[in-house]
Amino acid sequence: MSKFAIVAAIGIFLAWTLLAVAAYGLVDVLGGWLSTNSGVLLQGGKDVAGAVGVGKELVDKVDVQGTASLVQQVLAGALVIARPAIVALWLLGALAIVAAPFALRRMGLLRRSGH
């Protein structure tokens, strides 16, 4: 196998790993922030709706604490799914990156180094 193919596979693998780590960190930070601030965000939305003129009886019926608790539970469930999904996608991509030089050589699209 050519040295270029090996170096390219290593470079692509490192970039793929960096992307997966960034996605995992972003999901973790964004999920935590949304979960922590869901009550404030919902209260702000309720205040804006009241100021804009959405029916006052509708705005008064919104229970911010109960809704915030529901939002936190939904976000926790989404995080439970998202984190392993990112790891699984990273693993599939890593396997494809490692297998690509061998598959390309087998198909005749990648020449073997003469050295």
DSSP state of 110: S
The answer to whether the CB of 64 falls within 8 A of the CB of 39 is yes
This prediction has a pTM of: 0.71
Which sequence spans correspond to the domains of the chain?
3-106
Model confidence at 113: pLDDT above 60: no
pLDDT in tens, 63-72: 766 777 888 8
pLDDT in tens, 17-74: 999 999 999 998 998 888 888 878 777 777 777 777 776 776 677 676 677 788 888 8
For residue 88, the model assigns a pLDDT of: 97
The answer to whether the CB of 66 falls within 8 A of the CB of 42 is no
Q: How far is CA 64 from CA 34, 48, 58, 70, 74, in A?
A: 15, 13, 13, 10, 15
Amino acid residing at 74: V
Rg (CA), the chain: 24
Query: Up-side HSE of residue 98: CA atoms within 13 Å toward CB?
Result: 7
